[in-house]
Amino acid sequence: MTTASDQTEPKRRGRRAGGEDTKAVLLDAAREVFIARGYEGATVRSIAAKAGVDAAMVNHWFGSKENLFAQAVLKLPFDPTVLVARLLDGPPEQTGDRIARNFTTIWDATGGGPFAAIVRSVTSHDGVANVLREFFLTSVFAKITEGLDVDRVELRASLCASQVIGMGMVRYVVKFEPLASADVDTVVAAVGPNLQRYLTGDIG
């Protein structure tokens, strides 16, 4: 049986030579620090120190703290700042369709694994729910509503999140048919206008 102190060290031993090893060590360290200190409290410097590498390595491998968080905690294959820019690029009245199309396409490409992993983490670690809330809402959905010149940006952002998360739950976790196997165009036609109402419509 391994003890707790055994588990922290061996991971790093002999993995410092290649660059991919540094990246893996940074991802492990980032996950621990984000969950322990929250998104704001986890500095790039503290993550690098935990990993035993120079802080410049974070920039080299991940570009930004947001992207490190997306990969380490959310296990997302994309940089959320890039995603938000893409979602805001186009006619404002089609933002709902773009959100539906982008999230479905990205998650479909990985078989929904990253989404299911987020949900599992959220339900098993309180810390993950905290950082997810802090990050997903403020760095993704609130950025979209702020970019649209509407009122009640936070309520609209949390409503959009509810539909996107619910779509992910039904498509990748509980797999309710026919939505689970519907093609992307069907999902966009069904879900896009509902997201659009949350973004720019009359929400009461």
Q: What is the contact surface with its own copies in residues (CB under 8 A)?
A: 116, 119-120, 122-124, 129, 132-133, 136-137, 154-155, 157-159, 161-167, 169-171, 173-180, 182, 185-186, 188-191, 193-194, 197-198, 203-204
Which is closer to its own copies, CB of 53 or CB of 188? 188
Report whether the peptide linkage leading into residue 178 is cis, meaning its omega lies within 30 degrees of zero.
yes
Count of H-run helices and E-run strands, the chain: 12, 0
**Smallest distance from the beta carbon of 137 to its own copies, in angstroms?**
5
CB of 35 to its own copies, least distance (A): 14
Distance CA 200, CA 176 (A): 28
Task: Between 2 and 124, name the residue whose CB sits nearer to its own copies.
Answer: 124
We find the least distance from the C-beta atom of residue 106 to its own copies, in angstroms, to be: 17
In the chain, at which residue ranges do the beta strands (DSSP E only) sit?
Answer: none
Identify the residue whose tokens are 């410049």: 56
Output 38 or 193, the one with its CB closest to its own copies. 193
Please, which residue, 24 or 179, has the CB nearer to its own copies?
A: 179
Structure tokens at 202: 């009359």
- At residue 3, φ and ψ (nearest 5 deg) are -95, 170
Of the two residues 56 and 203, which places its CB atom closer to its own copies in the complex?
203
Least separation in angstroms between CB 92 and its own copies: 19
**CB of 83 vs its own copies, minimal distance in Å:** 18
Q: Which SS3 state, helix, strand or coil, does residue 150 take? A: coil
Exposed e or buried b per residue across 6-43, where buried means at least 16 C-beta atoms within 10 angstroms of its C-beta:
eeeeeebeeeeeeeeebbbbbbbbbbbbbbeeebeebe
